[in-house]
Amino acid sequence: MKFILNYIRKEEWSPYVAGILLGLVGIGAVWVSDSLLGASGAFENIAGMIGKAVAPAAFDTMYFNFIMPPGITYGVLLLVGVFFGGMIGAATSGTLLWGKKGAANSDAQWKRIFGPQVWKRWVLAFVGAIILEYAAGIAGGCTSGLAISGGMLLAPAAFLFIMGMFASGILTALIIYRKNY
């Protein structure tokens, strides 16, 4: 019992242990609620809701009517849970930076490559997130929704997606890091 409590307080788990936990959560989600774990769809649901309220004509498309219908879906609630789950994880290991100084840009490696400016981090995160969400829309899911959830059902789409993701990820990292790669 004490061992388990100490392990929960550890900042960084063995990826295998955390992976087993995620695998069990994935099984549970399919078994109990007949749904897949996914993150990117939730943003599209929320974007659809905002869009339908602000500019109904522009959002009256096939995509927002049938493929990603707006509303508080399973994915949106899941994402709320993920947010708090991540915070609980950080709180149990004592690394929660909420409201602390330097929390907006705390990654040492990021600062070494791009510089210490907070605005840079925000701009890059915003631009990167646009790319991510657009790509997830094309592929039909993100790392969690397609690669992991699709992969565990042995969907070919998931493995095609993982191939593409690693090919361009490696290339992008090469370009960003150049001689530091």
Partner 1 sequence: MATVVLPLFFGVFFGFALNKAGLTKYNKIVNVFRFTDLAVLKFMMTALVVAMIGLYALRSLGLLTFPNVPATYIVGNLVGGLIFGVGMALTGY
- As measured in angstroms, the least distance from the Cβ of 18 to partner 1 is 4
Residue 52, CB half-sphere, CA atoms under 13 Å: how many?
A: 15
Closest among 44, 29, 31 to 78, alpha carbons compared:
29
Distance, in Å, from the CA atom of 155 to the CA atom of 148, rounded to the nearest integer, reads 10
Choice between 51 and 132, CB closer to partner 1: 132
Quote the least distance from Cβ 112 to partner 1, whole Å: 10
For residue 59, the minimal CB distance to partner 1 (Å) is 21
**What one-letter code names the amino acid at 67?**
I
Quick one: 61 or 166, whose CB is closer to partner 1? Answer: 166
- Residue 9 CB, nearest approach to partner 1 (Å): 10
Indicate if the alpha-carbon torsion angle 137, 64, 22, 8 is positive or negative.
positive
C-beta closer to partner 1: residue 68 or 142: 142
55 versus 130: smaller Cβ distance to partner 1: 130
